[in-house]
Structure 1
C-alpha cells in the first residue's frame, strides 16, 4: 500500500560522520591503547601530562574531525508526504481521475482526487506524529568536559575534544570519548549500555599485556558510558566515529531497510488488483465500442469499471485500523514509530530479548544475609528503604529488622550492615521531579548495601569521617574504608569476595562473642557462599579491624587487610520484573520462541532465565560467546529457532549475527534492548523494541517500537494486539473485496444487457464510489477496534509468507460477491417490472432509470453491511461478539444515514443520479439482504458441522 505501510516509512535516518584520518591514524585509533603503559600512551598519541597546546588542538581537530558520532538527517515534510503516493492503487485512482476530468466528468474526477487525498493523509499524519518522538545519538556527546590544555583545566564542549587531550572524569559525568586512564581513584563506570554488564566496572591504570574484549579493558573508559564512582584522569585515544560507540553506530547504519509482512501482503494485493483492473477495463472498453457505444461513453464506462474493481477505501481502511491500534498501544505504554510495525508485532515468531533492564530492574537488591552463623531473608526490592529482615523459616513480623526486633539480632545485623554502608560510596536519594522512585548515585551494588542499611534504621546522614580508602582491585578482590569512630578509634571496614575475606580473618563473631576462627569455620562459611552462588546470588563478605593510632600514618592494604574479624555474608540479586514470568508464559503459550541475548555471565543469565519462566519445559540451553563464535551458522540458527536459549557474554556483532540468521531464514524476529550495544540488532530485526524509561537514545532511535514502561509484559500485550489487528484487517480486506466483486458482476451483467438488449447501465461511477467510500469505509475501518474473538494467544504465529487473499478466500469472495451482484441486478430488473416498464423494449424515462439504479446501489450497500456483520466473527451474525464494538454499529448507522441522504435529499440525489424509493422497494432490498444472510449462515453452519465431524 502507500508508504505508511510501505518499506520506506522509517523515521529520520542516521548517518555516521565519516572519519577524516589517514590509514595509519585509523589503525592507531582502532587498536590497542589498553596494552600500553602510561609513557607509551603519551608518546603514541602525542599527548603530554600538561595537556596539548591550542595549535596542537587545532591540528588534531583538522586531522581527526569533530568528536561527533552521528548526524540525524531529517526528511522534509513535502518528501514525506509525496512518498505516500508510491502505491499502485493510488496511482491508478489518480489516472482514473485524470481521464474522467479530461472527458468532462469533473464531479467524478473531484471525488477520486478527494479519495486519494484521504488515503495519503491518514498515513502521513500518523508517521509525522510518531516521527517527532526520537532524536538519536546526536545528544550523547553534547556535554561539558574538563580538559587540560597548556597546563590549565578548562571546561569545553565534548564535541571539541581531540585525540591526545588529557581529561578529568568525576562521579556522575558522561564519558565523552574513548579514554586510556593514567590516574584513577576508586574509579568505576556504568557500562551496561555498551557491553551489557549489569554491574559497574572498576577501572585501573596498569597496562594489560594480552588481547582482551572491550568489556575487559579495565584501564579504558568508553564513550557512551557514565562514571559510577571516584575520579580519574586519562588521555583521549579515540573520538567520534572511531570510538567503540562509533563502531556500533556504523553497524546500526549498515542495517537494510525491512518490509513488514503486511507491507508485502498489501503490495501483493495492490499489484494484482491493479493488473486485473487495467486488463479487464481495456477488454470492456473494446467490448463497449463494439456494442456501438460512443467512445466517450465507452471510456467513461471502462474508467468506472476500473474504479469498481479497485477497493478505493482499502488503503484508508488499513491505515485507519493501524492508526487506531497504534493509539491503543500508546495508551498501553507502547509507542509505535511506524504504522506497519503494529502488524509486524503480531507476526512475531521469535523474540530475542536483552536481560539487564528488560527482564530485570537493573537495581541490585540484597535478599539474604548470614550473620553469626544464622541465615536471614531481606524483604523488599529495588532501592526503596522499605522492608523487613527476618530469620530464614520464621514468620515475618512487623518491625523485624527495626527497633522492635530482638536486641541481639538487631545488634548483629546493624554491625554487619553498618560495615557495608561505611565501605560504600553510593548515595541513596528520595523520589524527585526527575525520578518517580527511590534511586541511587553511584555503584548499584553499593547502592543495595546502603539501602539494606537503611532498612535496619542506620542513619545514612551521619557516616563517620573517612581517613583512608583502598579501592577494590582484581588482585586483592577487596575494598577497605578506614573510618574514625566517635571515640577516636580507627576502624577498617572491609568488603569483598568471600574467599578473599575469609582467608584474611583470624577471628569470627560467634553469636555475639569473638573467638579465633577455625578451618571448620572457614569451610562452613565458604559452603554457604557456594550454595548461594549456585543460585546465582552475588555474595560479598564483610569484616572489620581496629587500627592503632601509632600505625595510622604507615597503614597500607597489606597491613590493614589482615587479622580481620569476620562479620558475615550479604547476598544480592538484580531482581526480575514482577510481570515477566506471567508475560513469558503467555508468549510461550502463543508458540513464540523466546531467547535471551546478554553480555552478562552465563550463570547469572541462566538464573534470570529460570526465574523468568523460560525453563518451563526443561529445554533451557546456555551458549557462551566462545561457543557461539565457534558454531556454524546452521547450528546457531537451530538454537535460536528452538527457543529456550541463553546466549551469554555476546558482543554487538554476535547479537546481530543471531538476529540476521533468524530473519534471513524467513522468520519474523522481534529484538528487545535498551543499550547502545543493542542498537545494531534492533535495526537489523524484523521489529526492534527499545526500552523507553531506561533505554539509551541510540536504542530508541534504532527501534520501531518503544516500550515506555520497559515492561516485557507490554511487549507481549503488543504482540497480542498485532495479531488481533491482522485478523481485523483480514476481515476488512475480504469484506471490501466482496463488494468490489459484486460491483464487477453488476457492471459485466449490465454491459451485456446493454449490448444485447439496450438496457440502461445499472450503476454509475459515483454510485460505485458512494458504496465504497461513503457506505462501507467507516464500518470496515471500525473493525480495527474489534476485540479478540477467540483464543488468539493460544495459537501459533501465522505464516508471514501466507496471503490474506489465497485460493480459499478468493473462492469465498467470488461466491459472496457474485451472490450480492446477482441479487442487485435482480432488484434492478424487478423494479422496472413493478414500475410497468419493459427495459428490453423501449427507453425508460430518466426518472425511472434513476430509481432503478438506486435499487442496485442500495441493494449492494445493504447486502455489504450484512456481509461485514457476518464476517466479523467465526460464530456468525447472531453471536454475542456482535455487541463487543459499539463503534462499529455507530459506523454502520452513519453509512445508512449517508445512503438515505443520497437517495432522498433532492440536491444530493441529482449529483448521484438517484431517485427516491417506496416502502415496497425497501422490502425487496431487505429481502435480498435476508437471502444473502441466510445463504451465508447456512454455509457457515455446514462448514462448522463438517469440522466437528472431522
Structure 2
C-alpha cells in the first residue's frame, strides 16, 4: 500500500489556511478566490466555508446558483468532425487536386468519358483512406465507456442519487467502495478510505486518504485529503465536498493539455506531400510547354489541349494515393487481427520509423495485478505459482520445490493465509459479462492476499461468514498496520493484523516457529527483517501477518495501539505486480531493432527499476534511473542525452514532465512513440509522433489522444506493430518506385510521340484513356497487393529508418528513369514495328484509323506487360529469380486480374470503343513478350553489375586492414 510521510498531515492549526466562519453562505468567491487547487490546504470546515456549503449539502436554490457560477460537470472534449468534413480532408493532396483540374478541363472540352474516369479515380483514391478511418472510428466508439454514473449526494438535507453530470461545486457527496469519483472532491470524513489513482498519477497502489488538512504545498499525487475525477474508490467510504467540476478538475486540465497539442504529420505523409508537390509542379510546367509545342506542330487547339492533359495524366501517378492507402489499410487490417487498432492510416508507417519508445510501466509492462509469489511461515519458505487473480497455482516448498505435505503443512498454510483474508476488505470475483477473467473489487494488494488464500483451498466466503467482523482499525501511514477483530459463533474474538514487516515485528512478543509458538528473540527479529530487506531489494512488496486473542475491551478501544500489542508473528507474504509474460522477449526484439526504449512512470524509482530489469531493458548498456527531482534539475540537453541513449527510467513524473521529455526527443529530430493508459498519459500521447494507448486498462482520455490502441494491452503487440510498420514501408517504397516507373515510361512514350508527330506527322502513340487504363486498371491492383508482401530479410535487425530519408531520392530516381526509359523505348519500337509488319508507311501520309488503333493498342499493352514484370522484379532485392517471388498469392491474383482487364480492353468490342483499341494477333503478342524479355534482361544485368560493384568496393585493398575500405 502507498505510504506517506505522516509529518505532512496534521490536525494542528498553526499553519492551516482558514476561512472566517461568519462568511455569508450566499456569497460565492470571486474569480481570484474559491480556487480548487488549494482546497487540500484547508481544514474540513474551511473547505465547506470556502465553497459555500455545509455537511448536509446544498439546497435546490443554492445548486442553481452554483451551477450558474461554476458550470456543469462535463469535460468538454473535441468531438469527431462530421463525416462530410472527414471525407473532404482526403482531398488535401496535390495529385488529387491536379486530377480534378484535369477532369474539369476535359469535361469543358467535351471529353466526358476521360473526365468521368478521372473523377472516378479521385473517388477511389479518397474513399479508401476515408473508409479505413471511419472503420477505426467505429471501433473506437465501441471501446469508449463513457456511460453515465450515479452518485450519492446530499441535497436539501437528504442523501439521494443523481447523475454525476448534475453535480455542482459545493455538493456534498458520499463515496463508497467500487464507485467512480465523479469530480474533484475535498474529503471531510473518511473510513478506511483509499482510491485507485494509477490512471491519474501513475501510482500502481491504492492511495490511502484522510480528511485533515495538509500544511504545505504538495503535488497532486501527495494530496491525500482529496479524491479526483477519473479515479475509483478502492476501499472504505468517505464524505466530501465537490471543489471542482468538468474542465476545472485535474482530469479536465490534463484533457485540455492533450487537446492543445499541435497536429503532427507522419514521415510518410511528409514524403508523399513532397512527391506530390514535385510531380504536380513538373506536370503543370511540362504540360504547358508541350501544349505550346503541340500547337506549333499544327495540332488543332482542342487536340493539343487533350494531348497536354494526356501528358499530365502520364506524369501524374494517378493510382499512387490509392495504392499507398490500400497498402496502409491492409497493414491496419493485419494489425487489427493482431490486436492493434489503427485510428489513422499513416500511423502504421510512423511506427516503422520509430527510433525511441517511451513506455509507461503500470498496465503496459506489468499486469496491474498484484500477485503473491513467496511466503514465509513458521520459519519455512514457500514459492507460489501462477499470476494474476485467478486462484490457480501450486504452492511448493523452497528451495527444494517439493509439494507441500497435504496433511500437516497444507492445513497450517491455510490457517496462516486465512489471516490475510480475514484482515482484508476486498472481494475476489469470478469472470462475468464485464470481466473476462478473475478480478477483484477493492484494494489490489488485498486481492492478492485473497487469491493466494484461495489457491491454498481457503473458502473465503465461509471464513468471513464463520467469523464476522466486529471492529476494524484501518491502515494509516503512522502505524503501517491494519487490524480486524472478528468474532466466531462461540463468542471467541481474534485480532488479525497485517502490515509493514518492521511495524509488525516491533509489536510482536511471540513467534510461530514451525508450529510451536514461543517468545520472540532479537535474533528472530533480525532474521525476519533480513528476509524482508532481501526480498525488497528484488522489488517484492512484503506484508507480515500476526494475530492475538482479543477481548471485549479491545472491541471498545479507541486507540489501535491497545489492540496491536503482544502479537504472535506468523509469517511474511511477498508480492509483486508481475511483468507481462511476453514483455522480456518483446523488449529483446525492440532493442535488437536498435530502438531506444525508456520507461516513464509515476511510480517509485525502486519499483520501476526492478520492473525495467525484469523486462530486460538493461541488456545492452545498463540502466539509468532518473527521479522527479533529478529530472527537473536537468538541462534540456541532459534529458535528451538520457532519452536517446535508451535504458532510462524516469520515475515519479507528472504529465508536464512526460510531455517535456517527448517534445525534447522530437525536437532532436527523432521519431518517438509513447505508450500509456492513464489520464496522465494523454498529453504525451498527443504530442508524440505516435501515441499508443492500452485498449483494456486504458482510460477513454488516453484512447482518444492516441493514434494506435492496443486491444490486448501487450507491449509485444506494440513491437509487432513496429515490425509491421517497417515491412509496410519497404512495401510502399517498392510500390511508389514501381508506380513512378510506369509514369516515366509513359512520359518517354509521350515525348517520343510528340517528336514523331511534330517532325514526321505520325499519329500519337497512345491516348489518354489507354494511359489511365495502365495506371488505374492494369497496375493498381498488383501494386496495392505489394502491401501483403511478407518480410524479406530481418527487418528487426536493422536500424530504424532515418525520418529525413526519402523514398524518391537520387538513387531511386536514376533507377526508375532507367527502367522507364527502357519500357518507353520498347513500346515506341513496337508501335513503329507494327506499321512495318502491316506493310504501311506512316511517314508517307495518312494511315488507316483501324491500323492506328492497333498500333496504340500494342503501345499500351507493351507498357503494361513490361510494368508487370518491373513490379515483380522489384518485389525482391535478389531480383526476379528467387523463391520470395512466390510468397504472396494475392499479388499473383492481382496480376491475373490486371491481365484479364487488359484482354477485355483489347478484345471486347464495347470496351474497345471506349479505349480506342483494336485486337492484336499472335505475332503482335510475340513482340510484346520479346519486349518484356529484353526489359527483364536489362534489369537483371544491371542488378548483377551493381551488386558486383558493391562487393568490389567492400573488399579491402592490398595492404589495407579488412573493413577499412567500408569506412
Q: Does 1:626 align with 2:641?
A: no
Q: Does 1:253 align with 2:256?
A: no
**Distance in 2 (alpha carbons) for counterparts of 1:22 and 1:329:** 53
Q: Does 1:420 align with 2:423?
A: no
Superposition deviation, residue 36 in structure 1: 1.5
SS of 1:164's equivalent in the other structure is coil
| Aligned partners of 1:141 and 1:159 also within 8 Å | no
Output one character per residue of 1:698-754: Cα deviation in whole Å (capped at 9) or x when no partner.
111111101101111111111111111111111011001001010100110111111
**Distance in 2 (alpha carbons) for counterparts of 1:869 and 1:202:** 64
Superposition deviation, residue 618 in structure 1: 4.1
Partner of 1:803: 806
SS of 2:494's equivalent in the other structure is strand
Partner of 1:759: 762
Partner of 2:17: none
Superposition deviation, residue 204 in structure 1: 1.1
Partner of 2:781: 778
**Distance in 2 (alpha carbons) for counterparts of 1:23 and 1:798:** 56
Superposition deviation, residue 412 in structure 1: 3.3
Stretches of structure 1 that go unaligned for 5 or more consecutive residues are: 1-20
Superposition deviation, residue 138 in structure 1: 9.4
Which structure 2 residues correspond to residues 254-269 of structure 1 after superposition, within 5 A? 254-269=260-275
1:231 alignment partner, one of 233, 237, 244: 237
Output one character per residue of 1:599-626: Cα deviation in whole Å (capped at 9) or x when no partner.
1000000000011110112421000111
1:318 alignment partner, one of 324, 338, 346: 324
Superposition deviation, residue 910 in structure 1: 2.1
Output one character per residue of 1:631-653: Cα deviation in whole Å (capped at 9) or x when no partner.
11111111111110100010111
SS of 1:132's equivalent in the other structure is helix
Partner of 2:224: 218
Superposition deviation, residue 898 in structure 1: 0.9
The more displaced of 91-100 and 469-478 is 91-100
| Aligned partners of 2:557 and 2:563 also within 8 Å | no
**Distance in 1 (alpha carbons) for counterparts of 2:811 and 2:510:** 81
Partner of 1:15: none
Superposition deviation, residue 551 in structure 1: 4.9
Partner of 2:7: none
Which structure 2 residues correspond to residues 121-140 of structure 1 after superposition, within 5 A? 121-134=127-140, 140=146
**Distance in 2 (alpha carbons) for counterparts of 1:742 and 1:824:** 9
Q: Flag the 1:488–1:935 CA change in 2: closer, same or farther, 3 A.
A: same
| Aligned partners of 1:70 and 1:137 also within 8 Å | no
The more displaced of 103-112 and 304-313 is 103-112
Partner of 2:538: 535
Q: Does 1:946 align with 2:949?
A: yes
| Aligned partners of 1:865 and 1:892 also within 8 Å | yes
Q: Flag the 1:323–1:137 CA change in 2: closer, same or farther, 3 A.
A: closer
Partner of 1:903: 906
**Distance in 2 (alpha carbons) for counterparts of 1:376 and 1:138:** 42
**Distance in 2 (alpha carbons) for counterparts of 1:550 and 1:199:** 34
2:705 alignment partner, one of 702, 705, 709: 702
Which structure 2 residues correspond to residues 113-152 of structure 1 after superposition, within 5 A? 113-134=119-140, 140=146, 142-152=148-158
| Aligned partners of 2:28 and 2:51 also within 8 Å | no
**Distance in 2 (alpha carbons) for counterparts of 1:31 and 1:905:** 77
Partner of 1:460: 460
Partner of 1:304: 310
| Aligned partners of 1:136 and 1:697 also within 8 Å | no
2:525 alignment partner, one of 522, 527, 543: 522
Partner of 2:430: 430
**Distance in 1 (alpha carbons) for counterparts of 2:784 and 2:240:** 60
Partner of 1:17: none
1:746 alignment partner, one of 740, 746, 749: 749
| Aligned partners of 2:332 and 2:345 also within 8 Å | yes
2:671 alignment partner, one of 668, 675, 688: 668
**Distance in 2 (alpha carbons) for counterparts of 1:139 and 1:653:** 26
**Distance in 1 (alpha carbons) for counterparts of 2:637 and 2:758:** 63
SS of 1:780's equivalent in the other structure is helix
Partner of 1:787: 790
| Aligned partners of 1:29 and 1:242 also within 8 Å | no
| Aligned partners of 2:547 and 2:568 also within 8 Å | yes
| Aligned partners of 1:34 and 1:217 also within 8 Å | yes
**Distance in 1 (alpha carbons) for counterparts of 2:942 and 2:77:** 59
Which structure 2 residues correspond to residues 82-121 of structure 1 after superposition, within 5 A? 82-121=88-127
Partner of 1:336: 342
Superposition deviation, residue 297 in structure 1: 1.1
Partner of 1:173: 179
Q: Does 1:864 align with 2:867?
A: yes
SS of 1:208's equivalent in the other structure is coil
**Distance in 2 (alpha carbons) for counterparts of 1:24 and 1:633:** 39
Partner of 1:389: 395
**Distance in 2 (alpha carbons) for counterparts of 1:551 and 1:681:** 51
Q: Does 1:558 align with 2:558?
A: no
Stretches of structure 2 that go unaligned for 5 or more consecutive residues are: 1-26, 955-967
Superposition deviation, residue 139 in structure 1: 6.4
Partner of 1:16: none
Superposition deviation, residue 150 in structure 1: 2.1
| Aligned partners of 2:674 and 2:688 also within 8 Å | yes
Superposition deviation, residue 553 in structure 1: 3.1
Output one character per residue of 1:792-825: Cα deviation in whole Å (capped at 9) or x when no partner.
1110110111110000100001111001000110
Q: Flag the 1:934–1:546 CA change in 2: closer, same or farther, 3 A.
A: same
**Distance in 1 (alpha carbons) for counterparts of 2:677 and 2:37:** 27
Partner of 1:405: 406
Q: Flag the 1:23–1:733 CA change in 2: closer, same or farther, 3 A.
A: farther
Superposition deviation, residue 457 in structure 1: 1.1
SS of 1:134's equivalent in the other structure is helix
SS of 2:920's equivalent in the other structure is coil
| Aligned partners of 2:191 and 2:474 also within 8 Å | yes
| Aligned partners of 1:136 and 1:701 also within 8 Å | no
Q: Does 1:726 align with 2:729?
A: yes
| Aligned partners of 2:29 and 2:50 also within 8 Å | no
Q: Does 1:276 align with 2:286?
A: no
Output one character per residue of 1:176-230: Cα deviation in whole Å (capped at 9) or x when no partner.
1111111111111111101111111111111111111111111111111011111
Which structure 2 residues correspond to residues 427-506 of structure 1 after superposition, within 5 A? 427-462=427-462, 463=464, 464-506=467-509
**Distance in 1 (alpha carbons) for counterparts of 2:839 and 2:680:** 80
Q: Does 1:567 align with 2:570?
A: yes
Q: CA RMSD in A?
A: 1.5
The more displaced of 836-845 and 328-337 is 836-845
**Distance in 2 (alpha carbons) for counterparts of 1:483 and 1:336:** 53
Partner of 1:155: 161
Superposition deviation, residue 410 in structure 1: 2.4
| Aligned partners of 1:168 and 1:232 also within 8 Å | yes
The more displaced of 219-228 and 27-36 is 27-36
| Aligned partners of 2:554 and 2:562 also within 8 Å | no
1:285 alignment partner, one of 280, 291, 298: 291
SS of 2:831's equivalent in the other structure is helix
**Distance in 2 (alpha carbons) for counterparts of 1:798 and 1:941:** 25
Q: Does 1:815 align with 2:818?
A: yes
Output one character per residue of 1:82-111: Cα deviation in whole Å (capped at 9) or x when no partner.
222221111111111111111121111111
Output one character per residue of 1:552-603: Cα deviation in whole Å (capped at 9) or x when no partner.
4346311101111101111000001001011111100101000000010000
Superposition deviation, residue 137 in structure 1: 12
**Distance in 1 (alpha carbons) for counterparts of 2:223 and 2:147:** 21
Output one character per residue of 1:533-567: Cα deviation in whole Å (capped at 9) or x when no partner.
10010000111111234554346311101111101
**Distance in 1 (alpha carbons) for counterparts of 2:137 and 2:555:** 62
| Aligned partners of 2:48 and 2:54 also within 8 Å | yes
Partner of 1:68: 74
| Aligned partners of 1:70 and 1:138 also within 8 Å | no
| Aligned partners of 1:179 and 1:235 also within 8 Å | yes
Superposition deviation, residue 81 in structure 1: 1.6
**Distance in 2 (alpha carbons) for counterparts of 1:649 and 1:881:** 49
* TM-score, normalised via structure 1 length: 0.96
**Distance in 1 (alpha carbons) for counterparts of 2:891 and 2:420:** 62
**Distance in 1 (alpha carbons) for counterparts of 2:928 and 2:422:** 86
Superposition deviation, residue 135 in structure 1: 5.0
Q: Flag the 1:733–1:124 CA change in 2: closer, same or farther, 3 A.
A: same
Superposition deviation, residue 47 in structure 1: 1.6
**Distance in 1 (alpha carbons) for counterparts of 2:147 and 2:100:** 47
